[in-house]
Amino acid sequence: MPTVGVGELEVYYEVTGTGRPLVMIMGLGANAGWWGSGVIQALSRDFRVIVFDNRDAGRTRGPAHPYSIRDMAEDTVGLMDALGLEKACILGLSMGGMIAQELALGHPERVERLVLGCTTPGLKRGVPPAPGVMRLLAVESRGHSLRHALALAGATVAISWLLTHLHLVPRLWRMTLLHPTSPEGYLRQLQAISEFDVSDRLPTLRVPTLVLHGTLDVLLPPENGRLLAELIPGARLVLFKGAAHGLNLERPRQFIREVREFLLGSGSQPTLPKQATPAG
C-alpha cells in the first residue's frame, strides 16, 4: 500500500491517470474508497487523480490527539509537497469541502480550481443538520453494525435512491469494515468539524470555485451551498434536484460531468455567475 510521511502522519494515498493533478478530499470517517472506482476512473481520463485517507481515517496512521480542520488542510498540503505537486485542482466533499476551503484560504497559490461538494462554510452562519441526524452522526459505534450503516445511509442519500439501491448497503458496510475508522478517531474528526468556521474569510478568496449541493441534503442542508456561493466571489452554484448528501454515489454521471467541465474550463480568475443551475 503506498504511504508517505507527512509531519507526524503516515498518509495512505492512491494516484490514477495522468495530466493536471486533481486532489480529492473525502468526508467524515470515510476512506479513499468512498469516492467509488467509477468516479475515479472517469476523472483520471483527464486528470492525475490523487485520493487519500485523512488523518484518523482508514489506512492513514498518526498520533491520537485533537486537531482542527486547518490541521487537516496542512496534511493535504504536506501530501502535495511529498508528491511534488506545486499546484492542483482541489475537490472536497462534505468534511473534505471544509478542508478544501481552509487549504484554498491558507494556500491560494497551491489551488488552480476549487470544487466544494455538499459542504458548509461553518455553522456560525450555516444551517446545521436536524437534531435527529446529529444524534445519528454522534453514535460512536458508527459503521460497526449493518443496522446502523442502513440508518446512516438513509440520512446520507435520498430515500428514493436508497430504495432502488438497497443491495449496495452491505457492500458499502463491508468496505467500511475493511479499512475502519476507530470510534475515537471518528469523534476527533467530528470535534474538528464542530469548531470549523471560515464564513468571515471566504469573501477574500480569489480561486475559481464551483459549489455542488443536493436539494434533499439533510446532513448539510442546501442553504449551506447557497451561502458558500454568496460568500465566495464569482462562485457558481449547481443544485442537484432530488439528490441528497452523497452526490458521487447518487448522481455519479452528473457529478463527473459538472466537475470535469468546470475543471477543464479556461481562465485563472473567478468569472462565473453566482446563480444556481439545476442539475438533473
Per-residue pLDDT reduced to its tens digit, 98-142: 999 999 999 999 999 999 999 999 999 999 988 888 777 776 444
CB contact at 8 A, 258 and 269? no
Predicted TM-score (pTM) of this structure: 0.91
In which band, very low, low, confident or very high, does the pLDDT at 280 lie, cut at 50, 70 and 90?
very low
Q: Which three cell numbers, joined as nine digits, stand for 15?
A: 494516484
Q: Phi/psi of residue 257, each to 5°?
A: -65, -45
Average pLDDT, integer, range 59-70: 95
Distances (CA, A) of 199 to 29, 126, 164, 202, 263: 24, 9, 37, 6, 24
Read out DSSP for 215-279? TT-SSS-THHHHHHHHHSTT-EEEEETT--S-HHHHSHHHHHHHHHHHHT---SS------EEEE
In which band, very low, low, confident or very high, does the pLDDT at 210 lie, cut at 50, 70 and 90?
very high
pLDDT mean across residues, the chain: 89
CATH of domain 3-128+180-279: 3.40.50.1820
Q: Which three cell numbers, joined as nine digits, stand for 183?
A: 470510534
Confidence (pLDDT) at 267: 41
Average pLDDT, integer, range 148-162: 73
In which band, very low, low, confident or very high, does the pLDDT at 146 lie, cut at 50, 70 and 90?
low
Count other C-beta atoms under 10 Å from residue 269's C-beta: 9
Confidence (pLDDT) at 150: 62
**Ramachandran area for residue 56 (φ above 0: left; ψ -120 to 50: alpha; else beta):** left
Average pLDDT, integer, range 3-16: 97
CB contact at 8 A, 53 and 6? no
d(CA 256, CA 95): 19
Average pLDDT, integer, range 3-32: 96
In which band, very low, low, confident or very high, does the pLDDT at 241 lie, cut at 50, 70 and 90?
very high
Poorest-confidence range of 136-150, 190-204, 239-253?
136-150
Q: Which three cell numbers, joined as nine digits, stand for 121?
A: 462554510
Confidence (pLDDT) at 77: 98
| pLDDT above 70 (res 274) | no
Q: Which three cell numbers, joined as nine digits, stand for 112?
A: 488552480
| pLDDT above 50 (res 176) | yes
Confidence (pLDDT) at 60: 96
Average pLDDT, integer, range 138-160: 65
d(CA 217, CA 236): 18
**Ramachandran area for residue 16 (φ above 0: left; ψ -120 to 50: alpha; else beta):** beta
Instruction: Give per-residue burial for 208-227: e unless 16+ CB within 10 Å, then b.
Output: bbbbbbbbbbbbbbbebbbb
DSSP for residue 15:
E
Task: Calculate Rg over the CA atoms of the chain.
Answer: 17
Instruction: Give per-residue burial for 104-124: e unless 16+ CB within 10 Å, then b.
Output: bbebeebbbbbbbbbbbbbbe
d(CA 158, CA 15): 30
| pLDDT above 50 (res 276) | no
Confidence (pLDDT) at 21: 98
d(CA 151, CA 43): 30
Average pLDDT, integer, range 238-244: 96
In which band, very low, low, confident or very high, does the pLDDT at 278 lie, cut at 50, 70 and 90?
very low
Q: Looking at per-residue confidence, does 164 or 95 come out higher?
A: 95
Confidence (pLDDT) at 237: 98
Q: Looking at per-residue confidence, does 80 or 63 come out higher?
A: 80
Confidence (pLDDT) at 275: 40
